[in-house]
Structure 1
Amino acid sequence: MEGEGSGQSPTWLVEQRYRAVLEVLDGSPVSEVAVRYGVSRQTIYTWKYKYDTDGFEGLREKSRRPRTSPTRLPAEIEALACEMRRANPRWGARRIAYELARTSPAAAPSRATVHRVLERNGLIRHQKQQHRRKYKRWQRETPMHLWQLDLVGGIFLADGRECKMLTGIDDHSRFVVIATVLAVPSGRAVADGFVRAMRTYGVPAEVLTDNGKQFTGRFTKPRPAEVLFERVCRENGVTAKLIKPYSPTTTGKIERWHQTLRRELLDVSGPFADLPAAQAAVDAWVHTYNTARPHQALEMATPASRFRPNPPPEPTVVVAPQPSGKDHEPTPTIPAEAPLLLPSATQAVEFDAVIPASCRLGILPRVQYVRIQPEHVGRRARVWADENTVHVIIDGKVIKSTSSRLDAANLHELSLRGAIPAGPPPALVPQPGRPDPDAVIEVDRKVDGSGITQLGNTHVKVGYELANQRVTLRLDGQLLHVVHDGVLAKTLPAPISPDARTRLRGARIVTDELPPPAAGAIAVERKVPVDGVIMVARQRLRVGRTYAGEIVTVHVEDTFFRVTLNGADLSLHPRKNQHPVTRFRAKIHSPKL
């Protein structure tokens, strides 16, 4: 029998209470009525009092909600918090509470209150937290003590090129000091970007980088050497620190900033029109990050509020040695600017050369060679070179174009060897029998065991699922379509320029329609281990120990995995994530001897 504390008042419950009250009014003992209706004597007296006071309606259950809630969050503040979450899905409760405190300081809720509001309105997706490793966190005490530097890719242009960006962040304040988009991530370009940042913010005490060849030459073969970046650090008194190999967590601050950059800018912006447009977009986003975006690691302060640049360094006075003798006047002192001024990039140069019998034309023998086709041996060629491109021209036609490995010092050395200043770069004219650069072309290529094929001098990562297969690559505008067995396998950004496509081996013009994509699920193979659990797309699927040693087929759908053996269904598992499949074949280890 339901008592008074149920919080509900259906019709049968009110009638039950009414009958109990009538029995008491007819003279039945209260204790007997309480036993029959399964309630206490006090409940019977309460029902009788309510009936005497308000009649039949008094037996209905009344709301127990308090008449006033002084501490309840106002409805407009709760609605504003929900709108902030919907407009900015990456904002958490702490960021929303901070923004509400800025807009409405008098009614600013706490982080826990905002979290309850988001959870109550279904705006939080709970996920299992996995903390497999614990890291020792560290931070420099003052700004300008340490800069973390790195190179990051993923900046695509409309012409299909992928550029890299030199990034740098102050360890104490998280202030981004360097964000330079580079067409070619050479050692020269990295040093130039570092010097420009020091001219703007001053010279840091230390820099921390990985072991990339642009930052250090300690792994240079056959013996270690000093690269340009290390020379800049040495000339300016900066201590260059390197992380241990394969330890990216040491530069965790810059790596975490790369993740924020990808999610908030690169993933939503799409390909940029050109290099200046990409740099302008990055500069605008970095300015907002430094000055307006609160940082949780800084107690919701902006990086600009914690950053203090060093004053410009005093000019270093270099005094030339004085020769002995009374007839010589003192040599005036020469102020040397700091930080180090690198030599400016020289203009393009050109010179004549004869194609040798080895078919390897030396642009600068110790730096770069260009391989030429055998039919041009013995002919005189005109070489046009700058820091980005090298063109080899015979009889007014460009027979070879390749990326340049030369820097400003190499171009200056060529000019000392007789090269003259060059004019504008030559126009690439399609040769007879080769397709127009704007045409849609196809080439047939073989994918190696690592899922990589080659277009000219460019390596294209097609994917593990097409390893050791023959595919057709269709270049259409800024896209590269991969066709296998008459179906469209995938679409990638075009890795080479339209001019370079005219020189591809086996290129042909196509006019037919693009084949449709493959339908159905992706099928992968797995060998069941002794514990009966296999891994697909970072998810554990329990097949059973009965099938240990068998090779099963897993059909990967959007929402589930279907495991089959010899065409018979074994099990069905819900898909809990959307991680891509990177391994399609079963690992079969050879038996131990």
Structure 2
Amino acid sequence: MSHPNARLTVHGRRLLVDRVRGGRPVAHVADEMGVSRATAHKWVRRWRTEGDAGLYDRTSRPRTTPHRTPADVETRICEVRCERKLGPARIGPIMGMPASTVHRVLTRHGLNRLRWMDRPTGQVIRRYERASPGELVHVDIKKLGNIPDGGGHWIMPRQQALANRQATTDARRGGSPVIGYSFVHTAVDDHSRLAYSEVLTDERKETAAAFWQRANTFFVGHGITVERVLTDNGSCYRSRLFAQTLSNAGIIHKRTRPYRPQTNGKVERLNRTLLDEWAYVRPYSSNAERTDALAEFIHTYNHHRGHTALGGQPPISRVNNAAGQYT
């Protein structure tokens, strides 16, 4: 059906044609099917001219658009957008045309959103996705400040938070207590978005290599054979130990170009999700409480949380052995 209020589907149009072919007057058939005589005659005429193909909907796009913006002007609009990152309201006066026209041109060329462009070069970012699970796994580390026992300044006055810090640790720097940081190591499959994450105490090469071994075991347990791993250029990922760990498992190691986090965008986006829906979603009374909550969130993310890039389905829906995936 072309739209919710359409009287005739393709099946209904065939039925109309069959009744007319049986010798019934077009006006009588139109009345029976709740459409106008003109509509009935239109479908009968199309069927006689084109056969069954004529009973399907046609595009409403015009064959010609004589008033469309000339191609050279559209090219210039796109160049200004890419070079200067200006919006329609700024480009319009430069080109001497309405901002609404500029917006339609940018939309037609996929430039209406600045986030779809690479800011340094102005090139349109082409979203990619591997064809099957395991072809590429993105790995990254997110640094988070630790929470003192009893809670930090997010949930209580700073004076009380400072007292909690002093009671939690004996470490001092410049007279102030130092709580330190946690490091969230994360791996996410490019195709299925299946994720594995741990909160660890540092980002050294031994820690990163051991994390990957556990992450690889996790993916293997879900029927995924990892072929490639993509990381940034952090010192732990440039180490011989990490490279040897991947090589021993027959995995190819790839690194992003320096200062180009967009290449590792899927795990970077997951890091943001972790902050919004786990780390900062509610106040925690201790670092251990926040760490313990990660496992539950990752399970929810993998098995129950809808992912917009997967048509609203959770990542487990794209895993090969997905039996019992929603338990």
| TM-score under structure 1 length normalisation | 0.28
Higher gyration radius (CA): 1
| TM-score under structure 2 length normalisation | 0.49
Instruction: Point out the structure with the larger strand share.
Output: 1
Instruction: Point out the structure with the larger helix share.
Output: 2
